[in-house]
Amino acid sequence: MNKRLLFIVLCFFLSVSIQAQEGTNINHLAQYQYDTDRLSIEFCQNRRTALRNLMAENSVAVIGSNPIRNRANDVDFQYHPYPNFYYLTSFKEPNAVLILFQSPITYKGSLITELLLLQSRDPKSEVWDGRRLGVTHVDTFLGIDHAEAITDFQFKEISWTNFDQVFYEKNNLLIDENRKVNEDLNQFKRGFIDVLKKRKVKSNGDQLTKSLAILREVKLDEEMTFLQKAIDITCKAQIELMKSLKAGMAEYQSEAILEYVFKVEGAEYPGFPSIQGGGENSCILHYTTNRKVLNNEHLLVSDVGAEYRGYTADVTRTLPVDGVFSEEEKEIYNLVLKAQNAGIRAALAGNSFGATNQAATEVIADGLVKLGIITNRKQVRTYFMHGTSHYLGLDVHDLGTFGPLKSGNVITVEPGIYIAAGSDCDPKWWDIGVRIEDDILITDGEPINLSKVAPRTVKEIEEMMKLESKF
């Protein structure tokens, strides 16, 4: 039997099998049992209800999944769901759209408050790209009360002009990826744009993002379980790097150690490209080339985060490659640590979002003047040129309102000092870049350092670097 005939026969039997599975056999849903600690149906139902409560009366919200992104030629990047869509559904497949109605509407004879549009099952595609949930089991596995194939959806079935507001996100639904693998989603987008323009629907492309920021900036207990897991994995990786780091190692090898631990501990991805900047690269804030070979005179800024069930950590440690900080490195490191401790103390509910940055900046400004690196405090941004905090969650720079800090916020506190070669100061300070970053939970009392298990004082780091590594 030739390969083409064999493939046709295989597809025939798969088609028969899949049709049966849409009925009573749900073996194709085994993938939903691989990881038992997924975002729960109840969590997502709660979040959809919370979003409806923020929506104006007689309104509708439309949230699309991410498209498949092309890497090169016929190779795509590993798929990652759109965080807002995932937050409301826990669904990770592409070519899907969630429509939420603020109050029930009649749709094809049924009274509904939500509609999930998704890909139908397809035996040929599933052979190549993996199993799909399909329409039949959406209620069981996602708890969404009505679903249909995205290719079956017709905009005329909903009276869009009857809504007082149609909420959407511009960067989510107004970009046509124009690729065959995204055609189902693109077809929906084109229809949606047509509805907005030709039918003169009252629409709002900003309020949905603002509403989701209000929800996502306060973490619920279930989210904290996943976020703490991501942070714990990241701290384990940083500790393993401390034990393993040595001269002659390339930046990419340090990256490999960290990301090996991520995978071994169950993280799906790094939450962002790993930053492993040694020597002069320690002074580049978002350096990701990671090709330099390290020597004993270098500091290594290691800024990484594991992603677990969609939630990402963000923990930075700065390490001496030879295991011992020089006197100059120690001066700068301890100044950054002092600034970070001041920032963490300022991470109190009711304080402004910028309070951590203000506290850290004051310490660094005074310290740099004292060391003679700057002559007046106004020059502090020459060597500390970024903010101190951002929200953390489903995105490494997570959604939030940037209003006063609230109990349940998770933020980073990450001051740094970066003195590039050629700077207007004593050359003994050149190529010293230090950043220390921890993930902080805002509470009704004192802030909690969720990543404190990873050593961060000079003494703790030097002691950890003396221990034996598995690598």
Same domain, 161 and 201: yes
167 falls within a domain? yes
Of the residues 437, 438, 439, 456, which is catalytic?
437
The length of the chain, given as a count of residues: 471
Question: Is 157 known to be catalytic?
Answer: no
Question: Is 437 known to be catalytic?
Answer: yes
Same domain, 289 and 167: no
Of the residues 132, 309, 435, 456, which is catalytic?
435
Same domain, 286 and 380: yes
Same domain, 242 and 378: yes
Question: Is 418 known to be catalytic?
Answer: yes
Question: Is 74 known to be catalytic?
Answer: yes
The CATH number given to whatever domain includes residue 145 is 3.40.350.10
347 falls within a domain? yes
Nearest to 313 by CA among 157, 451, 428: 451
Domain count, the chain: 2
Nearest to 27 by CA among 18, 39, 35: 18
Question: Is 184 known to be catalytic?
Answer: no
Same domain, 181 and 324: no
Question: Is 28 known to be catalytic?
Answer: no
Q: Which domain holds residue 260?
A: 218-464
Question: Is 286 known to be catalytic?
Answer: yes
CA gap 208, 173 in Å, rounded: 12
pLDDT in single tens digits along all 471 residues of the chain: 454 444 444 444 444 444 444 444 556 777 777 888 999 999 999 999 999 999 999 999 999 999 999 999 999 999 999 999 999 999 999 999 999 999 999 999 999 999 999 999 999 999 999 999 999 999 999 999 899 999 999 999 999 999 999 999 988 988 878 788 999 999 999 999 999 988 889 999 989 999 999 999 999 999 999 999 999 999 999 999 999 999 999 999 999 999 999 999 999 999 999 999 999 999 999 999 999 999 999 999 999 999 999 999 999 999 999 999 999 999 999 999 999 999 999 999 999 999 999 999 999 999 999 999 999 999 999 999 999 999 999 999 999 999 999 999 999 999 999 999 999 999 999 999 999 999 999 999 999 999 999 999 999 999 999 999 877
Last residue of a domain, one of 186, 214, 242: 214
Of the residues 4, 57, 71, 74, which is catalytic?
74
Same domain, 165 and 21: yes
Same domain, 331 and 403: yes
Nearest to 21 by CA among 150, 125, 119, 136: 136
Of the residues 48, 298, 390, 456, which is catalytic?
390
Q: Exposure pattern of 253-277 as b/e (b: 16+ CB <10 Å)?
A: bbbbbbbebbeebebbbbbbebbbb
